[in-house]
Chains A and B, each alone.
Chain A
Amino acid sequence: RKEVEQDPGPFNVPEGATVAFNCTYSNSASQSFFWYRQDCRKEPKLLMSVYSSGNEDGRFTAQLNRASQYISLLIRDSKLSDSATYLCVVNNDMRFGAGTRLTVKP
């Protein structure tokens, strides 16, 4: 089993849709988690951190479920500009998931 696994995708959704991605991790001692966004042929950039109590940033909501060892990212009211690959990372081990590709269509 990979240490960090993501929904394989791709996700193709219409504008305005709500979409959610999950990312599971195997190291129960992991302490910090992030979601990064990567546009085609570009470097990853931080989207948001994931806090234990869950956190929201505009249309984006991140949650952590320690018992089941997964984090999630929810995007509401999807925009065309949200099209990208979303990477989860478990920072203790500097392990990135393989990424979930999202395409938002008009």
Chain B
Amino acid sequence: DAGITQSPRYKITETGRQVTLMCHQTWSHSYMFWYRQDLGHGLRLIYYSAAADITDKGEVPDGYVVSRSKTENFPLTLESATRSQTSVYFCASSERGEAKNIQYFGAGTRLSVL
């Protein structure tokens, strides 16, 4: 029961480089989410997706791009990484987008932009 997996777990990159963080879930959950977590800010929603080919912006989408060509995958791309994007990134999924649905999180990706 793999659940939801993120890769890589750790990534160091340089300013200006493109970086893609991967997220894969095996539950066939409709909804998937990307958050970043920084000290003092808690989890902030970057993008979410209600289904394949449907994505929407969250609270902090600038500098990020997402796609969802398949239900099980939801990659997050930093097109030109900046130091302010150094953070821990969590992917999550939920069965439906209804307000009562629980989100299940991946183990996170720790990204450092030098």
**Which residues of A pack against B, CB within 8 Å?**
4, 6, 31-32, 34, 42-46, 49, 87, 89, 91-92, 94-99
Contacts of A45 in B (CB 8 A): 105
The 5 lowest CB-CB distance pairs between A and B, nearest first, are: A98-B42, A43-B105, A96-B43, A32-B99, A31-B99
| New contact pairs (15) apart from A44-B90, A92-B99, A94-B33, CB-CB < 8 Å | A31-B99, A31-B100, A34-B102, A42-B107, A43-B106, A43-B107, A46-B103, A46-B104, A87-B42, A91-B99, A95-B59, A96-B42, A96-B44, A98-B41, A98-B42
Per-residue contact bits, chain B 26-46, to A (CB 8 Å; 1 contact, 0 not):
000000010100001111110
Q: Which residues of A contact B40 (CB under 8 A)?
A: 98
| A32–B107 touching, CB < 8 Å | no
Closest-by-CB residue of B relative to A8 is B40
Q: Chain B residues near A6 (CB, 8 Å)?
A: 42
**How many interface contacts (CB-CB < 8 Å) are there between A and B?**
45
A–B Cβ pairs within 8 angstroms, 27 of them: A4-B42, A31-B100, A32-B99, A32-B100, A34-B102, A42-B107, A42-B108, A43-B105, A43-B108, A46-B102, A46-B103, A46-B104, A49-B102, A87-B42, A87-B43, A89-B43, A91-B101, A92-B99, A94-B33, A94-B48, A95-B45, A95-B59, A96-B35, A96-B44, A98-B40, A98-B41, A98-B42
**Which residues does chain A contribute within 8 Å of B61, judged by CB atoms?**
none
Q: Count how many chain B residues have C-beta atoms less than 8 Å from C-beta atoms of the other chain.
A: 22
Q: Which residues of B contact A91 (CB under 8 A)?
A: 99-101
Q: Bound state CA distance, A94 and B45, in angstroms? A: 7
Contact with A99, one of B42, B90, B103 (Cβ below 8 angstroms)? B42
B75 sits at the interface (CB 8 A) = no
Query: A4 CA to B102 CA in the complex, in Å?
Result: 18
Q: Which B residues touch A94, using CB under 8 A? A: 33, 45, 48, 58
